[in-house]
Amino acid sequence: MNIKNILFLFLFVPLFSCHFSNGKKATEIIAKFQFEKAIDKRETIFNVVASYKNGRWILEGETDNSTLKSELFLLLNQFDITDKVNILPDSTVGKNTYGIVNLSVANLRTAPQHSAELATQALLGTPVKLLKKDNDWFLIQTPDKYIAWIDSEGIVPISEKQLTDWKQSQKIIFTGDNGNIYKTDKFKIPVSDIAMGNILNVEEENYKAIKIRFPDGRQGFTTPDNWKDFDEFKNNIQPDTIHLKHLANQLMGRPYLWGGTSARAMDCSGFVKTIYFMNGLLLARDASLQTKHGDLVNTESNFNEIMTGDLLFFGQKKTQEQSEKVTHVALSFGKTEFIHAAGKIKRNSFNPKSKIYSVNRTNNFIRARRVMNVANQNGIQQLKNHPWY
């Protein structure tokens, strides 16, 4: 080995070691930051990495939260880092950074393809935020903060001004089970189906028929049955134990559907979300998210303090060997009785003397939380106070 190679190694090795050390430290800072901020990819996009290119440190990736990005840069300022983090919504959506769901029940996927897992659903008339576009798919955020992909047939992109106009327009919400919108006021040729919780614009109305407009401009007619003025609905409705119980019982026997959030078929958290949405409250999407919100109910000695409407959480309990994992949620009917989506919507009990006693649910019970009268905090918001409605 000649003197030039020896000199090169003498200079390169410490330099490489320094870069390697800085890269490891930057990666550790990012990981610690994500952990401490409890960033959940279901509700927040924060795909950020540090890399060393052409003699400079670069922070690249994407996020929908500019505040988080700024806070991370303050922690990494020792590296004189170059900012290449893309803030969403990005240029692929243009000026139309919002959208209105255009199908009675739109399927949202974990990836921009129909074969991807069903992540959640969104109902007709739901306002959403557009984050980016990939061919005919939009990455969106629903009012409960959940992030997933929807194909272009299921959504109508709109600008922020158009969203304001939509909020101020006359709308109605369907409080029935299922139905149809028809081409004429003779109610014979269907334009679309409708489902509980669907929201549509009103064009004209009389005692016989209501003429409505879909987000994409389609028009049709429906009978006045089971429709309510949306502004009146959202401003006046309050969670009520009698109504909660009645609506939950109405859904008895409906099939379980992973990712489902409509009255037609739903998963466990989609079931309680549907019940509370029709009572004016927006809850977080998944059971493991819902268990973070609301007031804790004392269940240490018995179930006597549990009230109708409380949420019951089940799963893997925390031990010295394993961490807690919430996998299921049910709606309480008070004390030991509850209703939930497990195979189908059904009732069970913690009471060993009951015919519907569930030893499995009793053994896997973790906690109960009260969401009624605990609105307008993170994860529990009154419909009337949501800025998109």
- Name the residue among 185, 182, 226 with its Cα closest to residue 208: 185
Tens of pLDDT, residue by residue, the chain (389 residues) = 555 554 444 444 444 444 556 667 888 998 999 999 999 999 999 999 988 888 888 999 999 999 999 999 999 888 888 999 999 999 999 999 999 999 999 999 999 999 999 999 999 999 999 999 999 999 999 999 999 999 999 999 999 999 999 999 999 999 999 999 999 999 999 999 999 999 999 999 999 999 999 999 999 999 999 999 999 999 999 999 999 999 999 999 999 999 999 999 999 999 999 999 999 999 999 999 999 999 999 999 999 999 999 999 999 999 989 999 999 999 999 999 999 999 999 999 999 999 999 999 999 999 999 999 888 888 999 999 999 99
- Name the residue among 71, 49, 70, 52 with its Cα closest to residue 60: 49
At 3 the pLDDT is 55
The radius of gyration of the chain from alpha carbons, rounded to an integer in Å, stands at 25
Sketch out the chain's domains with CATH numbers: 17-87 (3.30.1340), 92-166 (2.30.30.40), 174-233 (2.30.30.40), 241-385 (3.90.1720.10)
Strand 155-158 to 46-53 pairing: unpaired
The b/e string for 147-170 (b: 16+ C-beta within 10 A; e otherwise) is bbbbbeebbbbbeeebbeebeeee
Q: In what order do the strands lie in the sheet with 199-205?
A: 190-195, 178-182, 219-222, 210-213, 199-205, 171-174, 227-229
At 12 the pLDDT is 44
At 13 the pLDDT is 45
At 255 the pLDDT is 98
Q: Check: pTM over 0.85? Answer yes or no.
A: yes
At 336 the pLDDT is 98
- Name the residue among 270, 271, 239, 225 with its Cα closest to residue 252: 271
Write out the E strands in 7-166.
Answer: 46-53, 56-63, 82-87, 98-101, 105-109, 118-123, 127-134, 137-141, 147-151, 155-158
